[in-house]
Amino acid sequence: MRWSPLLAASLVACQPQAAPDYAAVFDGSAGRWVDLTHAFSESTIYWPTDTAGFELEELAFGPTEGGWFYASYAFSSAEHGGTHLDAPIHFAEGRLSTDQIPLSGLMGPAAVVDVSGRAHSDYLVSVDDLTSWEAEHGLLPDGGILLVRTGWSARWNDRAAYLGTDLVGSDAVAELHFPGIGAEAAEWLVANRGIIAVGIDTPSIDYGQSADFRAHVVLYAENISGFENVANLELLPATGSHVVALPMKIEGGSGGPLRIVAFVP
């Protein structure tokens, strides 16, 4: 019996297909997980006007009368400090609050645009940065998450170097210096690409000297969420990884502490 290529292909297509091996994503055999989150502690960096920072109060720690060990703490924090989510409502009235963002808006393929080789303390990510990346790696994916690596995460343990000032309170705001996303780049993303979120390894998606927070306003008006103070972006490839970003689900919130991770096949 002679087999035609068409018949052979048809028979192959009719064979039962193996189910995806989802377990391999979680047991380490299909890739690796990368934590993109700075730990919260008394040294966590907050916006200078959030002077309380992160507070952890010990409620219990040690052996109990019943013979077992027991530890419990209370914590307090502003929404927008450390590695955190900006919900769209943070800068766009009527847009999604923290609890309203669907899971589909918090996970997706990652595109890591690395400007660390040229970023300076007042650097603005430009349309050219984005189109140059696309010329090498392909279009930013629809339903994807744009992660901007400026290299600022390496300064995390030096507050003055990270923020551009060691001042606190309202007087510090005018002294902030760190890179961010330019307004033109934000407008180009909204007009031309279908990303669901943008993350950056600085305190804000707008640069430190911004007076109008245009990147926030432009992106969040389209229900594109923001992830700020992201860590370890140097461990991700330009393409091919997938991000899961799960914030504390605060009803009506404008943001919240975020545990963000990436899977690299």
| CB within 8 Å of 149: residues ≥ 6 apart | 112, 113, 114, 115, 116, 201, 233, 234
Q: Please give the Cα distance from 181 to 163 (Å, whole number).
A: 16
- Measured at the CA of 246, the angle between CA 97 and CA 72, to 5 degrees, comes to 105
Which residue spans within 122-224 are E strands per DSSP? 124-125, 145-149, 180-181, 197-200
β-bridge partners, 75:
56
- Residue written as token pair 């997938």: 242
- 84 catalytic per annotation: no
> Which residue among the candidates 80, 84, 90, 216 is catalytic per the annotation?
90
Q: Is 206 in contact with 47 (CB distance < 8 Å)?
A: no
Q: Is 125 in contact with 187 (CB distance < 8 Å)?
A: no
- Residue written as token pair 């200078």: 48
| CB within 8 Å of 244: residues ≥ 6 apart | 106, 107, 260, 261, 262, 263
Q: Is 145 in contact with 111 (CB distance < 8 Å)?
A: yes
Active-site positions read 90
